[in-house]
Structure 1
């Protein structure tokens, strides 16, 4: 009887999936998640605020409604089977106007969770549906061929149909009187903005030669007096009456303005760009009042909350809600906000991570708690190394500077300048005096106590993407964009060997714990094992797909490879046979680290999280 009860308890416990600190399920084999996947979506159709201030995200055929107090999804509603491409709440918040990828327009009752009315538009590439100012009619935009249609909301009767001159339409909005429509799109060297009389179907004006606009980069001001458009090189504002230009807003990295919105303050507006940033501008002066970077990729949606305090945005796979005043996240979910580019383990057992969001974080791998956030890695930290004494961390940054942080004080204490381009790898000599760095400029630099490098290793034709020190600190392996692996005596600044064999960039290199073998992996999807003494290839492993990172257990038994596909493959280092495949990340695995006792594997991903795994036994 007792044995049966114990067996039942064991079965029940085994059936309960492991969860992270937020209660979200973990992938098989993982024991903790550092950060969270909440608010991350592979793609969305649209987002908005409901009139009561609740954020809403349309993803696939679902509507997700968030609790604004916690920032967590509070309700999910399935709407048909087609993907939703636009949502707009009615002013009373009871109904949503929705367009879907099948070309349908429908009104959705949020309380009853059902379709109230629906009709087919017959428009290919339906982009968006918008209520008229009196909410009695609906305007729909078809992408290609470029079409505008107007409908009676109650009956679904077609009232107007217009075919445009552009290559494609992106989005249309009603004019303030509800009798005309403004539409933007793609037109090459021809005008990308047009104004139509809906009743007559006539073109009133076309203007602005700037190649194209994005899906949500056209809007009217809340009072209906001004029109704002983001395009290939700028954002431009006009007075609706007479279409007089009022201002131009430029300066984004990459130039393109991919999303726009007006603030509650009539003198301020927002622009989003392909660099992941949102800028708040003064309309009067044309100057940026504040800039923040909530995304790692094109900002494709921006909405301002009804109370004017918050900004809901999407870009790079992440939905973010930020303070309009200072850009701080509304909810601290203890997460990186962009991809995690590197990971390392302190002697205390804590985990350090570096991210493209410009921060380093220290984590408890057991609880998933973020113990400390260190800011100051300008433009993003792309690699990380810990000093042997555990007191300092070096972060290689996008601006070509290596920044050293005092971990206890939580601040930058030194900057190493001299590289050009991204810093791709950093490593401390185990004595702690020297620091090595490599960069897109094709060099490896050895830094001592001074402000200039003591030695510079050159020879790669292109960026040096990875470096590794031998166990006795005498040799350095490097992998580069030129497809070669090179072996150096760093103290003599001497190149000992250049090894070929890869077809494409070499993203990761690693010494075996005894220093006898060198591993390299890259975009050709292969891991090559070489005897260091002879340079001969003695093994090959093929995970399939690009390999971005490597790590091994301290005893040399297992080798791990992180892939661009988000999977980690585990290999018997002696036989070259695959032992296991770990899956659970939704983005590329940029970096790997194994704890000092060899029991846990840390994986850092472009999906903004890290996972802690049990190291497989056997093999």
Structure 2
């Protein structure tokens, strides 16, 4: 176990150890991103694509922006915005004149890179569009979480063919010599004839999801990155297995192939490795950068450099021969306050975590709201997805993308006595803190590995038990009994004892379950999913009480306001109030990006958003009681009226 002081921000924004705590006034922006000038992305960069014959790179990010970096002069230009986050960008390899971006707004945008403007919007998908490739100057192909693949006429914008054999979300595409390769959440790699639209081969299902695939035309191979850390390689024509590389100890989020056939694999074990295309042995490992995003890696057109985006919205460049980092474009050391989670005590003390790795304190009451101290661990800023505070408001735990759990004591509004532990179970997604006898202030931690860890307040692992096959998205503890419930990316939801015995399964969801919550009595649980439904279960019996369809926008967060009132946040900034007695559903847009979490805070309810805001809601009234912001994410959206 590691004990250390943590870094706090001084008024200048420079990280210092044991410096004065930074106090932030209500409704002020906390960092240098208050400017309306587009200096860099204000959300994690999801994808990078080099422009042929230039030192320019197209990027897309969770701020909805598509941008063009010029590495020769260090400049950046904003091409435009989607109305939701960007999942993938690609550049046509023939002329380099065109780029495409696909988004969770269900569209693909085509960009003229010479003119720097949007030329066409392709519409037709019914869920997030995850990937797009150019076949030639007239044909493009897209993949979506609506389980379909579309072949497009790029001149007219019409859908030429629909390929719909996948049984779950389609996430990744690759194309070579008339054949299309697709992979996704149904754990298969499928091979299609593009001219006819026929499915000609299905490889798998594998044991775990296949998030990413790439073509190696030099060696006539298809390369697949899997959630078990294995790179699987198949013959491009026959589909027969060629080789397996035990590449990583955690899920692979990106594979890419250079023009010489070398393979890049990027995974949640924080390692980026290049494998020789000829021998399939490890060639080199890239210099690590903590805030890189594994899903965003790509090779330059000539294969001499490698690009990736970061959670800070910056662009990284490595030398492929040495693995050394060459450049980080548009870095300012601050990152983006895209909030992932909030936790609050009954007395109004709140703690937030965000993509920028800062832990921020805030205070809420009926009449006011404002920021307090902010801090990050001395091991460095790292995206944090999880935070919890005990009921007394004296103990805080946070969890990070680099698998580390951080614990603090809370004294006079300041986080002190930092403890740190690497759990080694992949990124940490959620934390709940126990109050039950014998488990006081034990943190139950939801891990990417599918396990739930129980960690003592001294930051020692007490237990770590398997619950799900996929990543654990949320974990909640019964208000009285030594029982918990967790939900997973594999669509399962289970209850268990504190010592890890599975006691119940809750069936009904058909897609990723993003969040689960107990009612105050502990008699019922509510869950929300990418299947667009809110489901209510009897906790003890495991029976489904109600299933409520809430439209066609994916649901992210859920919280009981009372035994009969449930609030749901969606990925579009919508807050949905559901009366379980009458069935009445009320909707209100309170943010410009997804509602990442909901938490009770005394008589109020707090809602965090990826747009950099925290809203306080009075469950008895409509509207936002208080709003505080740490940044403005989308420069195309008008300023919101301040809420006192």
TM superposition score normalised by structure 2: 0.49
Q: Name the CA distance, whole Å, in 2 between partners of 1:518 and 1:165.
A: 48
Which of these residues, 347, 360, 368, is aligned with residue 362 of structure 1? 360
Counterpart mapping for 1:568-579 below 5 A: 568-572=575-579, 574-579=581-586
Q: Name the CA distance, whole Å, in 1 between partners of 2:518 and 2:352.
A: 22
Counterpart mapping for 1:180-219 below 5 A: 208-211=219-222
Q: Which has the higher contact order (CA 8 A, sep 6+)?
A: 2
- Matching of residue 415 in structure 1 with residue 415 in structure 2: no
- Secondary structure of 1:575's match? coil
State the partner residue of 2:442.
Answer: 434
State the partner residue of 2:97.
Answer: 98
Does structure 2 conserve the Cα–Cα contact (< 8 Å) formed by 1:97 and 1:105? no
Which of these residues, 256, 261, 278, is aligned with residue 258 of structure 1? 256
Q: Tell me the matched-pair count.
A: 449
- Matching of residue 513 in structure 1 with residue 500 in structure 2: no
Q: Name the CA distance, whole Å, in 2 between partners of 1:460 and 1:258.
A: 29
Change (3 A) 1:442 1:536: same
- Matching of residue 291 in structure 1 with residue 288 in structure 2: yes
Q: Name the CA distance, whole Å, in 2 between partners of 1:410 and 1:509.
A: 30
Change (3 A) 1:106 1:427: closer
Q: Name the CA distance, whole Å, in 1 between partners of 2:403 and 2:271.
A: 24
State the partner residue of 1:469.
Answer: 477
Does structure 2 conserve the Cα–Cα contact (< 8 Å) formed by 1:49 and 1:303? yes
Q: Name the CA distance, whole Å, in 2 between partners of 1:383 and 1:397.
A: 7
Q: Name the CA distance, whole Å, in 2 between partners of 1:551 and 1:105.
A: 40
- Matching of residue 372 in structure 1 with residue 375 in structure 2: yes
Q: Name the CA distance, whole Å, in 1 between partners of 2:500 and 2:219.
A: 57
- Secondary structure of 1:332's match? coil
Does structure 2 conserve the Cα–Cα contact (< 8 Å) formed by 1:483 and 1:503? yes
- Secondary structure of 2:604's match? coil
Change (3 A) 1:398 1:105: closer
- Secondary structure of 2:597's match? strand
Per-residue CA deviations over 1:106-150 (Å, capped at 9, x if unaligned) read: 99589xxxxxxxxxx9855599xxxxxxxxxxxxxxx99xxxxxx
Change (3 A) 1:321 1:421: closer
Counterpart mapping for 1:56-205 below 5 A: 57=58, 85=91, 98-99=97-98, 108=114, 124-125=138-139, 166-167=177-178
Q: Name the CA distance, whole Å, in 1 between partners of 2:465 and 2:60.
A: 49
What RMSD over aligned residues (CA atoms) do the two structures have, in Å?
6.5
Per-residue CA deviations over 1:91-112 (Å, capped at 9, x if unaligned) read: xxxxx973478xx9999589xx
Q: By how many angstroms is 1:353 displaced? A: 1.1
Q: By how many angstroms is 1:68 displaced? A: 9.5
Q: By how many angstroms is 1:402 displaced? A: 4.4
Q: Name the CA distance, whole Å, in 2 between partners of 1:461 and 1:452.
A: 21
Q: Name the CA distance, whole Å, in 2 between partners of 1:459 and 1:255.
A: 22
State the partner residue of 2:462.
Answer: 453
Q: Name the CA distance, whole Å, in 1 between partners of 2:408 and 2:327.
A: 24
Q: By how many angstroms is 1:543 displaced? A: 2.1
Q: By how many angstroms is 1:615 displaced? A: 2.2
Unaligned residue ranges in structure 2 (runs of 5+): 1-27, 82-88, 101-109, 117-134, 142-150, 153-174, 182-200, 202-214, 226-230, 234-245, 277-281, 319-323, 364-368, 623-644
State the partner residue of 1:602.
Answer: 608
Change (3 A) 1:320 1:477: same
Q: Name the CA distance, whole Å, in 2 between partners of 1:85 and 1:594.
A: 45
Q: By how many angstroms is 1:299 displaced? A: 1.2
- Secondary structure of 2:287's match? strand
- Matching of residue 38 in structure 1 with residue 45 in structure 2: no
Q: By how many angstroms is 1:295 displaced? A: 1.9
Which of these residues, 471, 488, 495, is aligned with residue 486 of structure 1? 495
Does structure 2 conserve the Cα–Cα contact (< 8 Å) formed by 1:312 and 1:319? no
State the partner residue of 1:615.
Answer: 617
Does structure 2 conserve the Cα–Cα contact (< 8 Å) formed by 1:353 and 1:361? yes
Q: Name the CA distance, whole Å, in 2 between partners of 1:578 and 1:72.
A: 47
Q: By how many angstroms is 1:297 displaced? A: 0.8
Q: Name the CA distance, whole Å, in 1 between partners of 2:222 and 2:501.
A: 51
Q: Name the CA distance, whole Å, in 2 between partners of 1:37 and 1:443.
A: 34
Does structure 1 conserve the Cα–Cα contact (< 8 Å) formed by 2:342 and 2:607? no
Q: Name the CA distance, whole Å, in 1 between partners of 2:478 and 2:388.
A: 15
Q: Name the CA distance, whole Å, in 2 between partners of 1:493 and 1:257.
A: 35
Q: By how many angstroms is 1:428 displaced? A: 1.5
Q: Name the CA distance, whole Å, in 1 between partners of 2:421 and 2:285.
A: 28
Change (3 A) 1:290 1:543: same
Q: Name the CA distance, whole Å, in 1 between partners of 2:306 and 2:603.
A: 44
- Secondary structure of 1:291's match? coil
Q: By how many angstroms is 1:42 displaced? A: 7.6
State the partner residue of 2:353.
Answer: 353
Q: Name the CA distance, whole Å, in 1 between partners of 2:80 and 2:545.
A: 56
Per-residue CA deviations over 1:424-472 (Å, capped at 9, x if unaligned) read: 5432224844333355455564747694527x8888788765332344x
- Secondary structure of 1:503's match? coil
Q: Name the CA distance, whole Å, in 1 between partners of 2:350 and 2:265.
A: 36
- Matching of residue 542 in structure 1 with residue 549 in structure 2: yes
- Secondary structure of 2:528's match? strand
Does structure 2 conserve the Cα–Cα contact (< 8 Å) formed by 1:433 and 1:449? no
- Secondary structure of 2:421's match? strand
Does structure 2 conserve the Cα–Cα contact (< 8 Å) formed by 1:464 and 1:478? no
Counterpart mapping for 1:330-341 below 5 A: 330-332=330-332, 334-336=334-336, 341=340
Change (3 A) 1:537 1:547: same
Q: By how many angstroms is 1:334 displaced? A: 3.6
Does structure 1 conserve the Cα–Cα contact (< 8 Å) formed by 2:454 and 2:461? no
Per-residue CA deviations over 1:517-575 (Å, capped at 9, x if unaligned) read: 4323345443333456777655443224654431244x667422234666543323553
State the partner residue of 1:384.
Answer: 387
Change (3 A) 1:255 1:350: closer
TM superposition score normalised by structure 1: 0.51
